[in-house]
Chain A
Amino acid sequence: AQSVTQPDIHITVSEGASLELRCNYSYGATPYLFWYVQSPGQGLQLLLKYFSGDTLVQGIKGFEAEFKRSQSSFNLRKPSVHWSDAAEYFCAVGPTGGGNKLTFGTGTQLKVEL
């Protein structure tokens, strides 16, 4: 069965510092991979998505993620964090058989210190 692991429950960074959120997946085939962000009291918003092609994916709000098959990882990065980036970030893997049945990681809560 597919699974997603986000090893860091909480991360604190200073505004302007770089950010990397880790995500590891377990999947038999080439996965569909997603990063979503959730602000307090809100639903989730898609940051970026990967299936094939260039392993470095650009997303919204200045985020990018790199797919590394050898490490089964799909880490999210941002060169310079803004206070408004404080939120919870979820990595997810999609199904092979079609549809939108996503398996989410447990999330990483990002705190930004001013």
Chain B
Amino acid sequence: KAGVTQTPRYLIKTRGQQVTLSCSPISGHRSVSWYQQTPGQGLQFLFEYFSETQRNKGNFPGRFSGRQFSNSRSEMNVSTLELGDSALYLCASSGGTGNEKLFFGSGTQLSVL
């Protein structure tokens, strides 16, 4: 069974640009969560999608958005990039019952110059 796939693996952008990250969950999983990981702030929850609906949201500005498609694949978008958005963005999938085992991808490393 294939694991969680995140693309691209690395991304370099400049301030003011926008970026879209993609996450393909494990087959059959209906929940996709996104986390931002930085050395200073650690792991912070961005949002969770379940059956194409946002189920939970973290404390991030509106520049951070996401969506989930009918095949459970998810994308997150960051508009008007800032230097502080440089981070490892991790996606995790699960069946969707909540408080369950999360399967994480290897992440997308975003560098904003």
The residues of A with any CB-CB pair to B shorter than 8 Å are 32, 36, 41-46, 49, 51, 90, 92, 94-95, 98-107
Q: Is the CB of A100 within 8 A of B90?
A: no
Chain B interface residue count, Cβ-Cβ cutoff 8 angstroms: 25
> Could you list 12 examples of A-B contacts with CB < 8 Å?
A36-B102, A43-B104, A43-B107, A51-B99, A98-B98, A99-B56, A100-B33, A100-B48, A100-B94, A101-B45, A102-B35, A103-B45
Residues in B neighbouring A49, C-beta threshold 8 A: 101
- How far is A46 from B90 in the complex, measured between Cα atoms in Å? 14
Residues in A neighbouring B31, C-beta threshold 8 A: 99-100
- How far is A49 from B99 in the complex, measured between Cα atoms in Å? 9
Residues in B neighbouring A92, C-beta threshold 8 A: 43
Q: Is the CB of A42 within 8 A of B102?
A: no
Q: Is the CB of B101 within 8 A of A99?
A: no
Report the minimum CB–CB distance from B96 to chain A (whole Å). 8
Can you list, as one digit per residue, whether each of B28-59 has a CB less than 8 Å from chain A (1) or not (0)?
00010101000000111100101000011010
B66 contacts the other chain (Cβ, under 8 Å)? Answer: no
- How far is A12 from B33 in the complex, measured between Cα atoms in Å? 32
Most chain A CB within a 10 A radius of its CB, from B56, B94, B102: B102
Q: Is the CB of B98 within 8 A of A102?
A: no
Residues in B neighbouring A44, C-beta threshold 8 A: 90, 92, 102, 104
Report the minimum CB–CB distance from A57 to chain B (whole Å). 13
Q: Is the CB of B55 within 8 A of A99?
A: yes
